[in-house]
Structure 1
Amino acid sequence: MTRILTIASQKGGAGKTTLAASLSVAAAQGGERVVALDLDPQGSLWSWKTLRAAADPAVDRVQLWELSQLPEILAALVPRGVTLAVLDAGGQAAHASIAALRAADLVLVPARPSRLDLLATRPTIEALARLGMGDRLALVLNQCPSQHGARTLAFAERLKRLGVLAEPTVNLRVDHQDALGLGLGVTEHAPGGKAADEIRRLWAWIRGRLGPAPA
């Protein structure tokens, strides 16, 4: 069985691809057999892959005209022994977003601590509700100031009212940008850093929701 983690956001800059890359790496380091699929027409995750020297996690791209075949593409991962597929869903590409949501066992929606980001979570939340998949939603507060103040705490509380809030909060740290630019996950680039620790803890939370990898 391949568990499907979809990372979706209707707003650019929320950190969707950065999370997809680093969570894929952290999961692979934790023993998962991972394939990351870039469904976003911008192709940012695919660009990250072209910078990588390491073969794991595997990264591939699904073009818009291939989205109707997404169930078959994902089904083909099972005999390959893939335990986790991470889908970087298209932000404004409705077809890519809905296809990725339908496939998901868990949908992670990143939002920065801003009102516009908070509003941008609603289309995904509403789409999941229409699909009868509201129980598969997890929100994550991303790119927060490293010193948590009243603002961050207030936005965390507001996100909790919209759905399940993943833990921990992910802070804005330069290690994330540096890792992405080098074709690395943050746990590869700065394994002893605070950013890497947050990503490992976030992956542990996600794994708890998805359940253990199949034997």
Structure 2
Amino acid sequence: MRVLYITANPKLIHHSVSLSLGELALQYYRELNPSHITDRLDLTTEEYPHLNSDTLSNFMNPHSNLATQSKIFKDYDKYIIVAPMWNLTVPSALKAYLDTVIIPNVLFRYTEQGTCEGLCGGKMIYIGARGGDYSHPPQSEYAFDDKYMEGIAKMIGLESYQSYVANAVGGYRRRSVAQWVEHAKYDIEQMVTSF
């Protein structure tokens, strides 16, 4: 079993709720599954291009670098993705990465009816953090980070999607990073146990 652990946050771990919760999840997963291979991908140190005319011209080429990256992504069985919500969605580094690996006829295809059919099995956990409290309407209606990641998981055909999103972790945060970890520990462990 292979797990890809993806982070998209330039903060140091002790200053980041999402990274701290992600590390907690990864640590617990490794304890439960010591024989599984876990690889890390830090999108703040690896650069993936935003889609442009050059990358789009290679989008359908099965021998392109995009196709190679997509096949590497598909070789994993599980994905743990950790990111803060910035400007109502995921960081652009994560979006750029997903844009370059989620290509037609590798991770999904269009049916004759024009709908998406996922070609990638597996499971995903998304762990996020939001500066403000977007857990209730009207703010919850325009927090797109978790909705976007769930949509990606469904589009590529993952069998399971789970998420834990910490709200109100911003400058007026009610808890320290360590307190957030303690607060979320049970929920993270339960989520990872069923992963």
Normalised TM-score (structure 2)? 0.51
Which of 171, 186, 196 is the matching residue for 2:166? 171
Q: Which amino acid aligns with 2:151?
A: R
1:7 corresponds to 2:21: no
Paired position in structure 2 for 1:45: none
Per-residue CA deviation, residues 164-187 of structure 1 (Å, 9 max, x unaligned), is 483242315757x3389xxxxx5x
RMSD (Å) for aligned C-alpha atoms: 3.9
Computing the radius of gyration from Cα coordinates, the structure with the larger value is 2
Paired position in structure 2 for 1:86: 38
Paired position in structure 1 for 2:25: 23
Question: Structure 1 stretches of 5 or more lacking a match?
Answer: 34-81, 181-185, 208-215
Paired position in structure 2 for 1:108: 80
How many percent of aligned residue pairs carry the same amino acid? Answer: 6
Instruction: Confirm or deny: 8 A CA contact 1:109 1:121 kept in the other structure.
Output: no
Paired position in structure 2 for 1:125: 98
More strand by share: 2
- Alpha-carbon separation, structure 1, partners of 2:24 and 2:86: 23
Paired position in structure 2 for 1:62: none
Aligned pairs (5 A) from 1:1-215: 3-13=1-11, 17-29=19-31, 31-33=32-34, 82=35, 84-91=36-43, 92-94=45-47, 101=73, 104-115=76-87, 117=90, 119-130=92-103, 132-133=106-107, 135=120, 136=122, 138=124, 140-144=126-130, 148-150=135-137, 151-152=139-140, 154=142, 155=144, 156-164=146-154, 166-171=161-166, 174=175, 177-178=177-178, 186=181, 190=182, 194-205=183-194, 207=195
Instruction: Confirm or deny: 8 A CA contact 1:6 1:86 kept in the other structure.
Output: yes
Question: How many residues align structurally?
Answer: 140
- Alpha-carbon separation, structure 2, partners of 1:16 and 1:101: 22
More helix by share: 1
- Alpha-carbon separation, structure 1, partners of 2:179 and 2:40: 17
- CA positional deviation for 1:195: 0.7
- Decide whether aligned partners of structure 1 residues 21 and 94 sit closer, same or farther in structure 2, where only a CA change above 3 A counts: same
- CA positional deviation for 1:21: 2.3
Normalised TM-score (structure 1)? 0.47
Instruction: Confirm or deny: 8 A CA contact 2:150 2:161 kept in the other structure.
Output: no
- Alpha-carbon separation, structure 2, partners of 1:102 and 1:120: 19
- CA positional deviation for 1:20: 4.4
Q: Which amino acid aligns with 1:201?
A: Q
Per-residue CA deviation, residues 16-64 of structure 1 (Å, 9 max, x unaligned), is 74344212322245x321xxxxxxxxxxxxxxxxxxxxxxxxxxxxxxx
- CA positional deviation for 1:88: 2.2
Instruction: Confirm or deny: 8 A CA contact 2:8 2:83 kept in the other structure.
Output: no
Q: Which amino acid aligns with 1:121?
A: L
Paired position in structure 2 for 1:55: none
- Decide whether aligned partners of structure 1 residues 27 and 141 sit closer, same or farther in structure 2, where only a CA change above 3 A counts: closer
Paired position in structure 2 for 1:63: none
